[in-house]
A and B are shown apart, each in its own frame.
Chain A
Amino acid sequence: MTNKTTPSRRKFLKTALAGAGAAAAVPLSVKADEYVTPSMTVPGKTFTPYGMPSGHEEVKRLLRPPGISPGTGGSLSPLESLEGMITPSGLHFERHHNGVPDIDPKTHKFLLHGLVNTPLEFSMDALMRYPRVSRMHFVECGGNSGANAGSPTPPQLTAGGIHGLVSCSEWTGVQLGLLLDEAGVKPEGKWILAESADAASLSRSVPLAEAREQGILALYQNGERLRPEQGYPLRLLMPGWEGNLNVKWLHRIKVTPGPTMTKDETSKYTQSQKDGKAKQFNFIQPVKSVITRPSGMMTMNGPGYYEISGIAWSGHGKIAKVEISMDGGATWTNAEMPGPVLPKCLSRFRLPWEWDGKPVLLQSRSTDEQGNVQPTRAAWKAPVSVVQFYQYNAIQTWQIGADNTVKNFYV
């Protein structure tokens, strides 16, 4: 290790140590000198108004090549580089249908109308005065992991590259039910339409009962105001429900007699079956898990100790258990769930493992508290059309080779 201690610093240390204890002073001073690291020898940087990750870290969202419309598409959370259960706000996945709008909260309005007794409009200042709730929930795009559903051969990507359209935050906001009650929903009101103020005017229908009981108008993400990419200044959060209907940049909710049948609940985000029919209103994100360490594109360090670790989640509630298989699903062992395990939230699982260096087909299979179990890829594919990729939740297999490679694999 190189010693970059300056001469004047060295002199200062010697003097100081000599004062501390005469007998051991000389040999000790040499030792201390060698072990003093550069960071200990100069004052550190001063305070900053907003902290950033260490310059030594290069953890980034994965971007896809921009298409004809640069703001249409997504960027993925680098799941393989993240730990615990919360996604840093700046690494939350993005899925936009026409870019990230720049919205001034001073002029932003939220309109609540339709089948209500009193149509209401709210400034952001008004919304900020309501009582708030804080909840930890994942948001997952309905198209997450679609690469594994559609590609006939396993795409060689990282865990985030395949499954990174899921992220998890603490969301704080106003319960939608409060505002619906303030406006007074008429008996004919059975659904809502939520609409964005983005350049897609993205809109989705949600059944009224669930919107009232579960809906949150999110203002904060991980303790600070929402990030622009996550809907600043206002986002509808339907915990555990398909990402697309968690409408960002929310500016309007209309209470309606039925679903509005928008483009994103007919043309898109519906599940085509083999017989040509399409299942619609697949609101709840199914039970799922992925091992993030070790995972695709990583290189093993040869035989020895590893901690297997990953994330599991379900839109139906809490994760009940996660099992690990080393042999492509023939035998299973329970992973440890150190907790916290919260409903509709990413949960971390871990399993200590001594690898003998032989080839392994590593899998995780999660079960939620409702008894839903992750299917195999073959079982997931069996009833659906070849073009169907939404809400793909099949078991992920990582093929670990004797050559230390970790690859995406279909059993």
Chain B
Amino acid sequence: MFKTLAFLLAAATPHFGATADPALIKAWDVSIPPDGTGLPAGHGSVSEGLAVYTQKCVMCHGVNGVGKPADQLTGGVGSLASDAPVKTVSSFWPYAPTLFDYIRRAMPVTSPHSLSDHETYAVTAYILSIDGIVKKNAVMDAKSLPKVKMPNRDGFIDAYGATKR
């Protein structure tokens, strides 16, 4: 009796997952954590990025990323503790790889996933250059991007306490 029950319970564990196709994992695994793990090959410069930005971003994010009609991307550095905080990529975002990650997956909003890795590195470099976070002659790639120190890197508090687990 006991044996039968144990057998039934063991048999009752569902296993319907199929071993994942490595090509599927490679194609879908686009998320980039702060340390840059998974950043693809390729590189892009600030000047190349200006060309991408002018062609594909400026109509929504404004000249030099000043915003309107969509989100303001630049400016406001040092304003967060003031009476009129301005939260932008430059002033607020803690990690530069997040910018690559987000642009590659979601921008331009009208045709996401249309930028090449090269274009994504370039436009990331350009946005970071506007407030001098990277130099005007900077080139972003898998090595240099995670090394960029964002002005508000230490501006976040883990309210839940799960980051130290």
Interface residues of A (CB under 8 A from B): 67-69, 72, 97-98, 109, 111-113, 118-123, 126-127, 129-131, 178-179, 182-183, 190-191, 193, 195, 199-203, 207, 209-210, 251-252, 254, 256, 258-263, 266-267, 270-283, 385-387
Contacts and interface: CB of A to CB of B under 8 A. Distances in A.
Contacts of B16: 122, 126-127, 129-130
Given A263-B101, A272-B85, A280 B18 contact: no
B105 interface: yes
A85 to B, nearest CB: 27
A150 to B, nearest CB: 13
Contact of A122 (B18, B60, B109, B112): B18
B113 interface: yes
B112 A98 contact: yes
Contacts of B94: 261, 266
B7 interface: no
B12 to A, nearest CB: 9
Contact of A260 (B33, B80, B84): B33
Given A122-B16, A251-B28, A272-B87, A263 B156 contact: no
Contacts of B41: none
22 contacts: A67-B70, A69-B70, A72-B109, A98-B109, A109-B24, A121-B20, A129-B16, A182-B17, A190-B162, A199-B106, A201-B112, A207-B165, A261-B33, A261-B94, A263-B102, A266-B98, A272-B85, A276-B155, A280-B157, A281-B159, A281-B160, A386-B85
Contacts of B21: 121
Contacts of A207: 160, 162, 165
Contacts of A262: 31, 98, 101-102
Interface of B: 14-21, 24-25, 28-34, 60, 69-70, 80-85, 87, 89, 92-95, 98, 101-102, 105-106, 109-110, 112-113, 155-160, 162-163, 165
Nearest to A125: B16
A277 B156 CA distance: 6
A201 B24 contact: no
A273 B83 CA distance: 11
